[in-house]
Structure 1
């Protein structure tokens, strides 16, 4: 039985770390496609830095979960957050010097470190009983609400701060990210106790227990996580570029992205409650339905900021339902002694797939337009329902 004070301290530290890191990441990632387009003179490869950040997260979640399985959650989380701080700092230097290759490389490093934030939901679940794990995951994911609100709001102030310090204004969001990632690491350093029951049962250095993904629960969980992330990235990554080309300014872009990230995080406790109360299957189906609706609403938005904000909000909540319920299903599908390694592997698959979506998003935008890109996302969102129909438990 876990001491209540120990559990609260661990959850609070994880919550703070996710909130701080999400603020920095969202502030940075909102402007990255715009910076890339300006440096390259074209939108075609403006999704490359975002894609590399996601590839970095794919590598980072596997790498950090391996570290965690051998040395505990605490060391893995600290390593991740301070790596993300280093990546953000180099990104700021790259933007200031207008060096696109260095920007792309630094986003990969940032993404690898940001894997710590993504794995924090599993660290929270370690401290709770199975019937409460989805709510624990939901509460930690909800910490991203801080980022969803503060990230876009900090865009303009970060430009002013950067100019005041003598840097180009566009460097500001990258400086904010470096500060936020470092602060997240510091919070975990002083406040996260570690020592969950899951850590005590790990088989350090054992091979990946991939046989668990042959079972229906593992396959459905992975499908929900992968498709939710792919659809979200495909549409979200090019929304700032589309909106700017339609005449929208930073304020309009910030509001739309704020609506999206609010949907991604603010309703997480509700998503966790629904998953624990009604079961993983119906919540995954509900999330898929919202993702389909999001693609259709966004495809007809054009330059209408209000409709686009609605579509991006639905996209965010659909992702959240899939993410929270899929994560809880994956956790309960794997015995505790194999859990950390498989969680890291699953997240690597998720982020690798999402990277492909981010990389192709700019190409699709220029080739078929934003409306068709959104319809493609809506079609892909039907996949988890198909897997659920074929694989039952």
Structure 2
């Protein structure tokens, strides 16, 4: 599937969106400002508060989602759920992640990226509360995991758009690459820590920890309201 996707992108993604963007902004032949290294991306993030805020929102959203999602099958199995039930719960979770993404993108354009990020954090808090207090109630865990997917979608779609808008065109590839790297490092780390929390304490405690982390991030975004204006 990945190989087919790669072929579609290589053969069909014409014109290249980055090259088209450079042409539209009159920077098609520029080379001096292009960012090619991780150091360049770090320098850009340090100089751009909105980009840092977007990256934080992306990292927190992904960490929260992966942490709860990865431990939910373990919890359900411990509570005696059948594999087909676990499959249904995760299927609805994945649907929540992707089915509404066009709506999330439209909403981010209409009301702004920061409000959608705050909405995403609120949904993630609600999902952690529902799942963490569900016990063996499969319907409640299902509702929590579905909200978890939608909250992740809000964080990733609005956060990625905000990150892209916050940096100059020639800097976007390196900054986006660094964002993906950090997001996945946070997700992997979150999974390890989540496993330790569930193993030593409980699935409910994991929900509490995730809820606190996401609440703090949402409150900071709502109060700080970083500017999302595109640099010249």
Whether TM-score is above 0.5 comes out as yes
Alpha-carbon distance between aligned partners in 2 of 1:182 and 1:216, rounded to the nearest angstrom:
37
Greater Cα shift, 199-208 or 210-219: 199-208
Give the conservation status (yes or no) of the 8 Å contact 2:124–2:151.
yes
> In structure 1, what is the equivalent of residue 59 of structure 2?
226
1:211 is aligned to 43
Q: TM-score, with normalisation over the residues of structure 1?
A: 0.52
Instruction: Kindly indicate whether residue 16 of structure 2 is the aligned counterpart of residue 184 of structure 1.
Output: no
How large is the Cα RMSD of the aligned pairs? 1.9
State the 1:198 CA deviation.
Answer: 4.2
For structure 1, list consecutive stretches of 5 or more residues without a partner in the other structure. 1-179
Greater RCO (CA < 8 Å, at least 6 residues apart): 2
Cα distance, 1:218 vs. partner?
Answer: 1.1
Give the whole-Å Cα distance in 1 for the aligned partners of 2:74 and 2:41: 41
Q: In the alignment, what sits opposite 2:147?
A: 314
Q: Write the distance in 1 (CA, Å) between the matches of 2:67 and 2:35.
A: 36
Distance 1:366 1:205, change over 3 A: closer
Please name the residue that 2:125 is paired with.
292
Residue deviations 1:354-374, cap 9 Å, x none? Answer: 111011121111111111111
Q: How far apart are 1:318 and its partner, in Å?
A: 0.6
Unaligned runs of 5+ in 2: 23-27, 228-232
The question of whether the paired residues in 2 share the 8 Å contact of 1:271 and 1:324 is answered with yes
Cα distance in 2 for partners of 1:275, 1:205 equals 29
Mapped to 2, the partners of 1:239 and 1:255 lie a distance apart of 12
Q: C-alpha displacement at 1:204, in angstroms? A: 6.1
Q: Alignment partner for residue 275 of structure 1, among 108, 112, 115? A: 108
Instruction: Answer whether contact 1:223 1:383 (CA < 8 A) is retained.
Output: no
CA contact (8 A) 1:299 1:370 kept: yes
Select 2:160's aligned residue among 297, 302, 327. Answer: 327
